[in-house]
A and B are shown apart, each in its own frame.
Chain A
Amino acid sequence: MSPRRTPAPPPGELRDSLPFPKAAKIELANVQQRANLRHATHTIRAKRAQVVGELDDWEALRTAGAQIKDRVLRNLDDYLEQLEASLTAAGATVHWARDAEEANRIVIDLVRATGQDEVVKVKSMATQEIELNEALERAGIAAWETDLAELIVQLGHDRPSHILVPAIHRNRSEVREIFLEEMGTYGEAAPPDLDDEPAHLAAASRSHLREKFLRAKVAVSGANFAVAETGTLVVVESEGNGRMCLTLPETLISVVGIEKIVPTVEDLEVYLQLLPRSSTGERMNPYTSMWTGTTPGDGPQDVHVVLLDNGRTTALADEVGRKALRCIRCSACLNICPVYERVGGHAYGSVYPGPIGAILTPQLRGLGSKVDRSLPFASSLCGACYDVCPVKIPIPELLVHLRHKVVQEKAAHHEVHAETAAMKATSWIFADSRRMEAALKLPSFGGKVLRGRLNHFGPLPYPASLWTTARDVPVPPSESFRDWWARERGGQR
């Protein structure tokens, strides 16, 4: 076997990750990561709130953002055919991929047809989702991530933990160490006197990637939006690495989820106001690129678009679940989420972490793995995610809906589910007043003993452990309501 071209990611498949409560427990013990995440999420929340507050019509924009996506989803087949026709007319070649494997094979074949053995990549969630980099590596093609955070993740033999800022779990001194250690193996080394100033770290990535940009013949991107009427693709970015990839190479391959469509050019005025303010908390991101097929004398002349399903049509078939397909990948729901802030992105076992990941991943991958069945429960249902969502995805509603599906799935496989077991026991007790009396006395006895010493219980033994491994239980009161009533009102009816 020939040696690897690019840094190896951690071993194992994402979907075989530990279920969320177990993974969360491990992540919570990482004190450095919790400090990094707390700092980062609080910074971005404040920036977002400020720039959103500047727009008087923010709520109207959110409503329009949701409606336009709903319109697209309702007639997705028509819009896809329209997009295919306009892309083809503009000089692009359109490919369709049912799943990750098919998409990866298409990209590998397209790269091989150019005779090249490396590609530069624009940050793209779709290509993360299909694990394109590893598929290319297995085919002997090196894929270089060029977004700074993706570069930190790739060089760090790590996995992304955030949609927008995949290296959010790393602080500046960790980034410095990764750069010093790894850059030289894969290209221009970091200067030996590199310190941990973010500006100097960014400069190191500029010189490391420069030679890769200048020699690249093939680039792979995703797209934030695909305009059906014109075939225009849009990429929103900050650093200029996107522009380098979209402009300098001869061949450009874009992997685009089928839900990325907007109907018309005018619709972009809604999303290009919603997205930057929701994601980086800026009035506008530094660079937005739009291209329509090929342009003679400007940019790649060999342009391909791979339209990716990979579970999206399954989500579309669920009349509640399909609302998750409105998502424009801004990550505002991650940044606001009290659960994400504490456990970070890796515990979600998916390239889509946080609240949106908890509703998107189990729909795209199905409920076959333990981690996917645990994700809809990775929330306290506080609702902050809905409040900040620029396309008004009712995330708590979808979480509850998917919890129901998980319970049904488990019942079908005779698996014990905590709530189901508890509810069964409760209904047996509630059905008889003597059982009820007796049951109420039990905890109050415990309550009398424990009150004043403890406020809550930690984990309890099985079967209560199904509930208490991830939750505290308050110590019961020393007297039940029935006892109090009997004492105070002398058993009046």
Chain B
Amino acid sequence: MTTYIIRRILISIPVLLGVTVLNFFIVQLAPGSPADLYLDPNASPDYKERVEAALGLDQPIIVQYLNWLGQLLRGDLGLSYVSRAPVADVIGARIGPTLLLMGASLVVAYAIAVPVGILAARRKGTWADYTVVGGAFFGVSVPNFFLGLGLIYIFSLQLGWLPTGNMVTIGGGGGGLWDGLSHLILPVIVLSTAIAGNMVRYVRSSMVDALSEDYIRTAHAKGLAPGVVTRKHALRNALIPLVTVLTVDLAGLLGGAVVTEQIFQWPGLGMLTIQAISSRDYSVLMGVNLIAALAVFGANLLADIVYAVVDPRIEYS
């Protein structure tokens, strides 16, 4: 097992390196330079060149990349082009809200999707099943921004029950638990809708497969009650393939967070990404991308480890 984990980490190093190379060069393809936004539009070309030299932007792209990589190996993500604050600090301040949003969305999504999926599987072919499948299809297909704006319109603008955005009421003195929760509700609904929709379909089909296995018939032949058969014999087998779905969901969440955080002005990594793109803050962008790549890779590794724990048939060597 340890050997397997070490091997996986070793293999991932060139992959991560490749991701940074791609990111770096794609970012550079965008027209303009960070200096354009940094400077007065009327600054002299000479002054612009000096600023670019100070930022290291005058060097060939390869050299710039190697410089960045060299810094990274020393554990330094560089300074933001915009605020001149260390990138690590900029990201550090935003990572908490994003984790809160993603964590809450995952918990809500799974809390809904697993029981609903099981219900649909056990009632396969009935109206309950069709309703669930239809609802799940809606959840997957409705776009984040549309759902987000719709919810804001109904619950914030029309009904006035919930705030339109942000994490806390500005000027509200930090707010209590309810203030925090009320800000969390709408973005969590938006993010968890898509995940839950996807998840319900996986839970359902995985459960349908599990319930048709020979060992389920064996369990019924023992005289076990249907509930015991579902919980003890089918569910655990059905959840194993869902470990993979969880990791895919995580990548999807990161993407979804960008749009959702922007709509709800949620001060997380997603919003930071949009800000960094529009201000051509390449060093922050590189930092965020690296974190995202690490998160996806980490989730995949975690999934493989969880597999080995829940499925006795899997042994890594």
- Asked if A and B are interacting partners, one says no
Interface set of A (CB-CB < 8 Å, partner B) = none
